[in-house]
Amino acid sequence: MNRLGGLRGVRVSGLLARIGAAALLMAAANGFAATGAQASGELNLYSSRHYDTDERLYSEFEEKTGITINRIEGNADELIQRIKSEGANSPADVLLTVDAGRIWRAQQMDIFQPVHTDFLEARIPSYLRHPDGLWYGFSQRARIIFYDKARISPTQIQTYDALADPALKGMVCTRSSSNIYMLSLMAAQIEHKGEEGAKTWAAGVYANRAREPQGGDTDQLRGIASGECAVAVANTYYFARTLRSEVKGLDETQVAKIGWVFPNQSTTGAHVNISGAGVIKTAPNKENAIKFLEYLASDSAQAYFSAGNDEYPAVPGVELSESVAKLGLFRQDTMNLAKLGENQPLAQKVYDEVGYK
């Protein structure tokens, strides 16, 4: 019986293929370090990524390595607490989740072990991984400014600071301040501006609100399409989806109304966040866990993050999907993303102090 069998929420993928030495050489040429003899055994993955398109990531890893992935999916905070509660008996090998802030929460629970391989460190830029190798970022999404082309000129919103400009009073839509993406954006503001500068910015953005902060990122885009908002903040992959398929509540005509700006291109660069993963300290299948992290940094997996979920690859030079390419290349903030977690408690404090709901 599968060791994770019977647990609520488990999704177990079968062993799809066994491969020989020649196939391993092909896998290495494709971009990940499949060294030594054929891998065998299992990998127990706890994942809070909820994208159906990730199925191909998992099946390809199984095909390339012969390792069976046993998967439990759920809310990130619940999975982190579960691993902590399971302690030394946890079957978890890898935690895969979204947002550097959530990864920081896991790090604070002391559930990761450091991983250092030449392959990972050569592939993943230093600012997209923990300085001590506790986790690595494998896909990126930029949090940028979207606007109504009929009401706003892109020259008005070239920086995040512009969101606090009184000229935009009554026009700006955002998510709630407790949202993890908003916390990470504020954490970056704190790192660049200091606490007082970030507080001034937050007060200005909130004063410019078109409505009380609410909804998800797609709701911010719908707000522009409906005319309720003239400016909104959202992650790139939410909008990239609209460029390749109709999103509920957004038809082709409405999408055409929306423009976008990658802010701070002449200063810090646009704020980015990640999906990332780390190897659990008590991982029973440590070698397989490291192989999985290396696979996620391979060319094929990186390309699939872009094609499957409209994200930017973490590895420089990997081809972008058509929808992501339409958004364009941009200069990104190269602040180490560990800072997004470290500044998270202060970020919520700043929002609260200015009454940002």
Q: How far is CA 352 from the centre of its chain?
A: 25
The mean per-residue pLDDT over the stretch 270-290 comes to: 97
35 vs 21: CA distance, rounded Å: 10
> What are 213-228's pLDDT values in tens digits?
999 999 999 999 999 9
Helices 299-309 & 286-296, crossing angle to 10 degrees?
A: 60
pLDDT at 21: 32
Q: Which helix (H) or strand (E) holds 73?
A: strand 68-73
pLDDT at 38: 40
170 vs 164: CA distance, rounded Å: 11
pLDDT at 1: 26
pLDDT cut 90: percent of the chain above it = 82
pLDDT at 300: 94
Task: pLDDT band for 282, please (50, 70, 90 cuts).
Answer: very high
Task: Confirm whether 10-140+273-327 and 141-270+330-353 share one CATH topology.
Answer: yes
pLDDT at 67: 97
The mean per-residue pLDDT over the stretch 109-119 comes to: 97
User: Do 96 and 47 touch, CB atoms closer than 8 A?
Assistant: yes
Residue scoring higher pLDDT (104 or 22): 104
Find the distance separating the first CA and the last CA of the chain, reported in whole Å: 48
- Is the pLDDT at 13 greater than 70? The verdict is no
The mean per-residue pLDDT over the stretch 159-187 comes to: 97
Structural domain spans, the chain: 10-140+273-327, 141-270+330-353
297 vs 77: CA distance, rounded Å: 25
Q: What are the C-alpha distances in Å from 333 to residues 142, 144, 190?
A: 9, 12, 14
pLDDT at 40: 65
* Torsion on CA atoms 206, 208, 213, 216, rounded to nearest 10: -120
- For domain 141-270+330-353, say whether CATH 1.10.10.1100 is its number: no
8 vs 11: CA distance, rounded Å: 9
pLDDT at 179: 95
Query: Using alpha carbons only, what angle is made at residue 260 by residues 254 and 261, rounded to the nearest 5 degrees?
Result: 170
The mean per-residue pLDDT over the stretch 145-150 comes to: 98
Task: pLDDT band for 8, please (50, 70, 90 cuts).
Answer: very low
Q: How many Cβ atoms are within 10 Å of 180's Cβ, its own excluded?
A: 19
Buried b (16+ CB within 10 A) or exposed e, 203-229: bbbbbbbbeebebebbbbbbbbbeebb
User: Do 248 and 80 touch, CB atoms closer than 8 A?
Assistant: no
> What are 236-247's pLDDT values in tens digits?
999 998 887 767
Average pLDDT value for the chain: 88
CA atoms within 13 A on the CB side of 336: 12
- Is the pLDDT at 46 greater than 50? The verdict is yes
User: Do 143 and 160 touch, CB atoms closer than 8 A?
Assistant: no
Task: Give this prediction's pTM.
Answer: 0.86
44 vs 14: CA distance, rounded Å: 13
**Class (C level, CATH) for 10-140+273-327:** alpha beta
